Each structure stands twice: as C-alpha cells, then as structure tokens.
Structure 1
Amino acid sequence: MRALARMMCAAVICGSLVCGALGAGVASAQPTAMGCTSGQLPNAAQILRCRGGVTIVAESGAIYTLQSRNRNGEVDAVDLKGKALLVDAPKHQGRNRFEVTTPQAIAAVRGTKWAVDAQDTRTSVLVLRGQVAVRRPAGNGQVVLGPGQGVDVDPGAGPLIVKRWPQPRVDALLARLGQ
C-alpha cells in the first residue's frame, strides 16, 4: 500500500446516491460504448481500461456514470454518486482536464491518478502525487492540493481547508480498491 501511496494519486470522498452503478451492472453497456474494456479484480472491484489511456478501478457497488464531454467517445469525466473510484488519467496535450464531479465538489486534474469515494454528506480529496484543483460545483472557493494534502468539502459555503491525511486513512481507502 505504501508503494501505491508513492504513485500519483488523489482521493475524493463525496456524497449522495443518485445514478446507476457500473459495479453492480446497472450501466453495464456503458463501458463498451465509451471505448472501455472491463474486468474484475480479486476483491470484486471492477477495472475499466479506456481509449486514450484512462484506467478506472471502481469499488464493488460504486455508483457513477462515464462522460465524454467533447463527444468523441473517449472518457474524460466521471459523475460519481456513491462509493470509491481510482482514476488514472494520463496527460494529453491540448485536451481538457479529466474531472470527477460529485454533489459537493469537482476535482480536476491533468495527467495524474486519484481515488474518489462517495459518502452521504461530504466530498474529500487527497493528493498523493501531482496536483488536483478542487472546488464546489457553484464555483466558490477553489484550492489546489499537492502531495499529501487533502480537503473535506461539505454542502455548506464555508472555506475549503487544506489538511494532511494520516496514513491509516489513505491506506483504508486504497485497500477498498484492492490497492
């Protein structure tokens, strides 16, 4: 686990359960339509390998929808509503940032790897390597996180406060993703 913590990662923990779950098979045709192949990991997590080099590991039962904002059929965003995702989105010249959107936050990054976990009332983002910009959907208050920094985003309008995540919190999230 500590070896993975040295890789480019960010963890986003967010809230509200709304859309279909790829991990549960509700949106099982979506990966193929988005140019992805899917497989299963030993801990029941689903792994998607998509065109453009994007890899997404979804915790069993994760609730999310893949997006192609520029409508070219390549995944460039994920709308997450529940549980955890680990996203590896390589840097591409001239492309939009890869985004993970949750009810409380938008985490945008260009060429890094991060995890996203949906809870009932908050979104938390942790960067292990690289940088991730985090803001509320309304656009108020943005922070840019560096390695080891995290932020908890609740539905309120208070300031976003950057903190360091303790290693047990990082390890627990990554373990749920089979990492």
Structure 2
Amino acid sequence: MTARDLACFVAALLVAAAVTVMPAAAQQMPTCSVRNLPNPPRVMVDCGGILLEREAAAQLGFVVSERGGTQRTEMVLESGRFLIREHPAGDAQILTPHAIASVRGTLFAVEVAVGSTAVFVVEGSVGVTHRGGGGGVTLGPGEGVDVAPGEPLVVRTWGAARARALLERFGL
C-alpha cells in the first residue's frame, strides 16, 4: 500500500462513524497492489480479490467492521470516482458519506460529490441504501441512483450521455 493509499485509509476511518472499528490487533487489512493506468489516467488497485479502478484523486480506504458477529473488510470512498471490476464471492459493501452500495456480482461505478453519491450499474445488480439506514433499492444494468441526505432513493435509467461521462473516466 502506498503512502497515499495509507493516508486515504486514515481519512476513510474518520468518515466511517457508522462502522464499528475493530482493535488494531484484530484488523485483517487487505494486502493491496497498486498500478497506474494511462488513457484515461487512473489507478488499478488489487486488494485480495477486490479489483477496482479509481481516479488518482479519489479518497479510498478500508475499514474492518463487525456486524452480527461477522468480521468483514469494507471499502470506504470519501470522495471521487471508482469502478469495481471484480470482487470475491459473497456480499461486499462500499461505504460513502451518503450511501452504502452492496455488491452482488456486478460491474458498477460510484461517484462521491459534496452532498451526494451517485451509483451506476453496468452489469449485475447493486443494492443501495442511505448511509443512515432506511429502505433501499436494487439497481440493474443501465440504472443509477443519486443519494443525498433526506432525499428519497429514486432508481432511474441513466441516459447515454450521463453514463458515458462517468464510464469514460475508466476507459469504458
């Protein structure tokens, strides 16, 4: 993990207030390899079976949590954009200040801006809820949702221009 990724991890811990952080001795942080990709410029991060691409400026980290007696490593995206390419079998979650995206065998992108998070699915499905809890939605291919505090979750089919604007950042 690079110094920048470590700094992102520390920043992510600060925004992960809804997650119970385990003591340092119990943490099983993923071993990550990082590779820079050109055209468009981005960073490929491979962390123990989770393969994602992120913009260089994206603030991404990991936190170990315990829910229902099960310990898990979750990704925390504080700002920027990233694309999940692969992940291990089972349920994984991506936390942002506004939303929780639950991975369900898919290719999808997340964009965090000031005051909102956008989630868009290319393949498969993703469950999305407000970070503070409440009812959720499930997105399918071509669908997205904008998550803002206090606003209802409305699933929309994204137009080609909006989807392209996000996915071009990852060479798709």
TM-score category (smaller protein): 0.7 to 0.9
Q: Which residue of 1 aligns with 2:77?
A: 80
Q: Which residue of 1 aligns with 2:46?
A: 49
Residues 1:109 and 2:88 aligned together = no
Q: Which residue of 2 aligns with 1:37?
A: 33
Q: Which residue of 1 aligns with 2:143?
A: 149
SS at match of 2:165: helix
Spell out, residue by residue over 1:13-36, the C-alpha distance to the aligned partner (whole angstroms, 9 max, x if none): xxxxxxxxx899252797xx6212
8 Å contact kept, 2:143–2:155: yes
> Structure 2 length as normaliser, TM-score?
0.74
Cα distance between partner residues in 2 of 1:81 and 1:58: 12
8 Å contact kept, 1:23–1:46: no
Amino acid at match of 1:136: H
The offset of 1:115, in angstroms, is: 1.4
Amino acid at match of 2:30: M
Runs of 4+ more than 3 Å apart:
67-70
8 Å contact kept, 1:23–1:45: no
Cα distance between partner residues in 1 of 2:131 and 2:54: 23
Cα distance between partner residues in 2 of 1:23 and 1:79: 17
The offset of 1:38, in angstroms, is: 1.0
More strand by share: 2
Equivalent residue pairs, number: 147
Residues 1:64 and 2:66 aligned together = no
Q: Which residue of 1 aligns with 2:158?
A: 165
Spell out, residue by residue over 1:43-95, the C-alpha distance to the aligned partner (whole angstroms, 9 max, x if none): 331111222x210111021111123447xxxx842111111111123352xx4
Q: Which residue of 2 aligns with 1:128?
A: 122
The root-mean-square deviation of aligned C-alpha atoms, in Å, is 2.5
Amino acid at match of 2:95: T
Larger RCO of the pair (alpha carbons < 8 Å, separation 6+)? 1
User: Which consecutive unaligned segments of at least 5 residues does structure 2 have?
Assistant: 10-28, 67-71
User: Which consecutive unaligned segments of at least 5 residues does structure 1 have?
Assistant: 1-21
